Amino acid sequence: MKEIYIAPSILSADFSKLYDEIKSLKKEGATYLHFDVMDGHFVPNISFGSYVLSCISKKVDLIKDVHLMITDPEKYFMDFIKAGADFITFHYEAIKKEEVLPLIKKIKENNCKVGLSIKPKTDPKEIVEFLPYLDLVLVMSVEPGFGGQSFMENSLNKIKFLSTLKEKNNYHYLLEVDGGINNLTAKKVIKAGAEILVSGSYIFKSENRKNAINSLKEE
């Protein structure tokens, strides 16, 4: 049985007490900490920059998973690596196709793992050529830009497609899904092949976060 990892998204945390919100997540069953970085241009919202990551990266013993929903990831990725990112994931749709592989290589050259994300309307076949180079593939199961959206069922076929390719070709990327993840949708994406589940409001608004996180891991 494959291991399922949970990545709480701090986008749903109370930023007036951010450290208190996240300091116990590892004991409660989380492995990753997900940072949704938005620029108000690639997506219609603004969240936070590398400074937030730098403030907490050494205080929390979780894998720092940075999701760049920004127009110019090449300009800013080093800021997040310096701030403590373990993974940098950028969007396939944010840059020209011929720029994708060079950026993947640049991130790797700076001793950081790299992921590529696709929006709900993007066909996963478009990123097949990049799969051998990736440490992570992130399937968005909502339109990126806001938390609390409902899960989009068409993401399941994308997850199955990418999971099948991974197994067939012995690729090493982790398959992550983000958007509308709760105890019901988690079962669907795990069955489809997802390994990392990003969840924001379901975890942070729960009265018992340990139970909430455990419920996401149940197949």
Q: Which of 36, 39, 65, 135 is catalytic?
A: 36
- Write b or e for each residue in 7-31: b if 16 or more Cβ atoms lie within 10 A of its Cβ, otherwise e: bbbbbbbeeeebeebbeebeebbbb
Active site residue 36: yes
Amino acid at 130: F
Contact call for residues 127 and 104 (beta carbons, < 8 A) = no
20 labelled catalytic: no
Mapped onto helix, strand or coil, the DSSP state of residue 85 is coil
Query: 74 by DSSP, 3-state: which?
Result: helix
What is the C-alpha separation between 164 and 146, in angstroms, rounded?
Answer: 29
Catalytic residues: 36, 178
